[in-house]
Structures are given as structure tokens and as C-alpha cells.
Amino acid sequence: MSEQSPQDKQAQLRERELIKRRSKARHLAVQAVYQWQLAATDTADLLAQFHEDEGMDKADGEYFDGLVRACIGDPDRLKGVYADYLDRPEVQLDPVERAILMVAAHELQEHLEVPWRVVLDEAVSLARRFGAEDSHRFINAVLDKASAELRKLERGAGR
């Protein structure tokens, strides 16, 4: 077995750090979108508030901004990504579930560099943490169907 070069090790460390920072950005983006739904906070004020948060230093701030701006900027487009896969009217969704679905729908649609399984795993993890008792199952079912449509080629390659 050959040893990795120092450059390869550094690249792996940078990749792991990026994964952690993006995970934290998703976590904060779900919280921001949730807050926006409840208080209709101005986008600039909301972003500024979250950038002052102590946890933002562990997040990919640029990725966070993009997620939040996409969710707040065009929520109807994102709702259209998952609406056909809901088991109830979209207006009956819990705000936590809606925030998670919006962030994940944006990633599935616009961030093809993020594997679909990562998007689902992160969304399910957030639902376990912030959602109601079985919301993680609901989130998984909806996003699994949405990803089958949005990421046909990627999902087909994994089989």
C-alpha cells in the first residue's frame, strides 16, 4: 500500500473541512428560513443577524447566504420541486419541515456538486434534530422521490 503525498493529505483535510462547514451552513440556513417564515424578517437583516451568531465561524458563510437567499427569494419555485410528493397540502407543513424541504430542494436543483445522498442525509439529520417525532421519515420520503426526478442520471449511475 502506497503512502499519500503531503499534498494529497492536505487536499483531504481541506475537503473534510469544507464538508463540515457546509453542514453547519445548512443547519443555520434551516434556522434562518424557519425564522423568516415566522417573522418575515428582511433578508439583509436576517443574514446580518446570523452572521453575528457565534456558530457562523464554523460555517461556510457564502454557502449559507446562497441557501437563504434562494429560499427566501423564490419560495414558490422550491415548493414546486417537492409539492407533488407531499401527503398533505403544502400549507399544512410544519415550518421546520418546510424550511428543511426548501433548503434541500434548492441543493438538489442547483448544487449538483453535492451528491443527492448527502442532501437527503443532511435533511434527515436536521429533521431528527429539529422536527417532530416522525418528520425525518416524511422528509426522507419526499426528498427521495424528488431526487429520483431531479437527479435521474446521478441516481441511475449508482445502481
DSSP string, 108-151: HHH-TTS-HHHHHHHHHHHHHHHS-TTHHHHHHHHHHHHHHHHT
pTM of the predicted structure, to 2 decimals: 0.90
Residue 25 grid cell: 451552513
Take residue 139 and report the three cell numbers written for it.
422528509
Break the chain into its structural domains and give their ranges.
Answer: 6-157
The string of pLDDT tens digits covering residues 4-53 is: 787 778 888 888 988 999 999 999 999 999 999 999 889 999 999 999 98
> Cell numbers 420541486 label which residue?
81
Over residues 87-139, the pLDDT tens digits come to 999 889 999 999 999 999 999 999 999 999 999 999 999 999 998 899 999 99
First-to-last alpha carbon distance for the chain, in angstroms, is 29
Q: How far is it, in rounded angstroms, from Cα 139 to Cα 121?
A: 10
Which residue type is seen at 147? S
6-157 in CATH: which number? Answer: 1.10.940.10
| DSSP 8-state assignment for residue 158 | T
Residue with cell 401527503: 87
Q: Residue 81 has which C-alpha cell? A: 420541486
